[in-house]
Amino acid sequence: MNIFCWTDELSSGNTMIDNDHRHLIDIVNKLDAAMCTGRGKAALAQMMDELITYTRSHFGREELLMKEIDYSDYTAHKAEHDKLMAEVDALQSDFQSGNIDLSYKTYLFLTSWLSHHILEEDKKLGAAAKAARERLTELQRT
């Protein structure tokens, strides 16, 4: 059973961002299910790799969008991405070296960060992308 579910409240208004977020939520839920069912370290490591790889590509797409629309909060938003990736890379390293086990605490960290980032940062980015698209459409009409 998925605890972390997509809701309309999480929508940024940008299809690419929202589709990526839905996929990230699915990966986080699969990781949680694997932890809850006691799957082995190799299976958890593979799911963690999938989460990290997809998160990096998602952040790359967001950062490209921010550059394309000359997003005013680019530096702060990218810093949030960089901070999360550093935290997740450290988590993965600790897990691989046997210093920690992936646990519900890991799941709570990931879901809390993702929810906060979507609601606080990505909604602003979605609105800015929509405004940029509307400006471009208006310019094309004139």
Q: Which domain holds residue 110?
A: 14-141
95 belongs to a structural domain: yes
Q: Convert the pLDDT of each residue in 1-36 to its tens digit.
A: 667 899 999 999 999 999 999 999 999 998 888 888
Q: Count structural domains, the chain.
A: 1
103 belongs to a structural domain: yes
CATH number, domain with residue 74: 1.20.120.50
6 belongs to a structural domain: no
54 belongs to a structural domain: yes
Q: Over range 107-119, report the average pLDDT.
A: 90
Q: Convert the pLDDT of each residue in 47-103 to its tens digit.
A: 889 999 999 999 999 999 999 999 999 999 999 999 999 999 988 888 888 877 777
The pTM is what?
Answer: 0.87
2 belongs to a structural domain: no
56 belongs to a structural domain: yes
Q: Is the sign of the CA dihedral 60, 121, 7, 137 positive or negative?
A: negative
2: which residues sit within 8 A by CB, 6+ positions away?
25, 29
